[in-house]
Amino acid sequence: MTAVLDFTMGESAAALRGRLRRMVAEFFPDDFLGAFTDDPADLALTQRFSRLLADEGLLTVAWPREFGGSDGSVWEQTVVREEMWAYHEPRGPQYMGLNWVGPAIMAYGTAEQKAEHLPRIATGETIWCQGFSEPGSGSDLASLQTRAVRTGDHWEITGQKIWTSYAGMADWCVLAARTGDKDSGRRGISLFLIPMDRPGITVRPLRAMLGPHHLNECFFDSVVATDAEVLGEVGTGWSVMKTALAHERVGIARYARCERLLWLLRDVLRHEWDDLDEGVRNEWSGALVQVRVARLLAYRAVERQEGNEMVDLEASQARIASTTCDQQVAEVVSQLLGPRSLLGAAAGAPAHGAFEDHWRYAQAATVASGTIEIQREIVSRELLGRQAVR
């Protein structure tokens, strides 16, 4: 199936969408806004839903059968991504494992690592987190200082990670640590697959604008790791991370929720819509076009990722489009709904608070998993060539 300039992706995709929507509607209450709320029942529901998806062969639809997948196409996977994100990610914290940890283990893992981890991701049993950012290494990720020191026949890892999504509930972590010397930059980084219950790991939740149960700080104090837990070769962590981040950047189908919210906005406005002046309605249409541009750019990046081509440019371009359309839609909503768009769910907000939730998340969209400045930097390297960062 080709995706070029095709918003619907044909009949089979439509059938899949319908099936997923029915499953979500049956499983989740109307006011579900994601797994990371103050009510632990929300998280539990997403865990059960992930297992149901796995039973139906939809959790890892595009993975090969030998790893627990359904041998489906990447476009089926795209439909799943879109529908899941549009309905507030009912897979909860599964996204990291499905979207890139699994594929990275497939590409770089040993036979033992594949056998241990892939089936459990495919059944929705394990939650993964990603230990990349550090307090001193955000945009300048390659300067990370968490150290993995060779001690006898194993490694001892010490350092601090921050902004770690799901760390408090995760079973496993892909941890980036420096195995080279202090100034080894991107050549001295290795990745480790570490169980989160290993001695020496402390997780502290970070209360944030995104809600109380999303982000964390992780402290690693002489945490032991074996050679068998290194993903890829020692010292090649950076290139795995780059691939991972390119997947992460197109992995969230933000445009899908944007599209849903724009139509929801029309439903909420009902008769008021007809009284809006043309300028305001044009803003709405402009946002809808931008949402669809973001979708097509994401398809282009996915297509090239499938062909195993270098996709830094496409991934970053798609990421810029999808994060800025998140913000554009938030703006249009606030223009059309006024202060109602900022009402919390408890105060009788329209759409159970989905608009307010979207506005808050959209603010972080151009910061998380690589700031928009870094995305621009990546695109500029292709356009202008690599120059000293300034």
Partner 1 sequence: MTGERSSFRQVVRQVLADSWPPLAEYASGVLPPNAERLRKVSDELGWWELEDEDGGFAFASIAIQELGGALGPGELLQGLCVNPVIAGSADPRRVACSWGDSGPGGFSGEVSWCLAPGDDVERVLVFAEQTGEPVAALVRSQGAGARLEPMTGSDPTRRFWRLVMDGVPPGEPEILARGDEAALLMSEVEQRVSVGLALDSLGIARSALALTVAYAKIREQFGAPIGSFQAVKHRCVDMFVLVETADVLVEAAVTALASGAPLGPSGVASIAMAKAASCDAAAEVTRLALQTHGGIGYTWEHPCHLLLRRAKLNQALGRNPRSLRRAVAGRLVADALTGGQETTPLRGERK
- For partner 1, the binding residues (CB under 8 A) are 133, 136-140, 143, 162-163, 206-210, 215, 277, 279-280, 334-335, 338-339, 341-344, 346-347, 349, 356, 359-360, 363-364, 366-368, 371-373, 376, 389-390
Min separation Cβ 280 and partner 1, Å: 7
Min separation Cβ 218 and partner 1, Å: 14
Min separation Cβ 212 and partner 1, Å: 8
Name which of 153 and 183 has its Cβ closer to partner 1.
183
Q: Write the CB contacts of 69 (distance below 8 Å, at least 6 apart in sequence).
A: 60, 61, 62, 63, 122
- CA 271, distance to chain mean position in Å, is 37
Min separation Cβ 361 and partner 1, Å: 10
Q: At what angle do helices 354-365 and 254-269 cross, to 10 degrees?
A: 150
Name which of 16 and 349 has its Cβ closer to partner 1.
349
Name which of 139 and 158 has its Cβ closer to partner 1.
139
Min separation Cβ 215 and partner 1, Å: 8
Min separation Cβ 233 and partner 1, Å: 26
Name which of 117 and 161 has its Cβ closer to partner 1.
161
DSSP string computed for 5-34: T-SS-HHHHHHHHHHHHHHHHHHS-TT---
Name which of 239 and 335 has its Cβ closer to partner 1.
335
Q: What's the CA angle centered on 23, arms 22 and 28, to 5 degrees?
A: 105
Q: How many residues does this entry show for the chain? A: 390
**Which candidate, 305, 367, 372, 378, places its Cα nearest to that of 100?**
305
Q: Write the CB contacts of 233 (distance below 8 Å, at least 6 apart in sequence).
A: 190
Name which of 126 and 137 has its Cβ closer to partner 1.
137
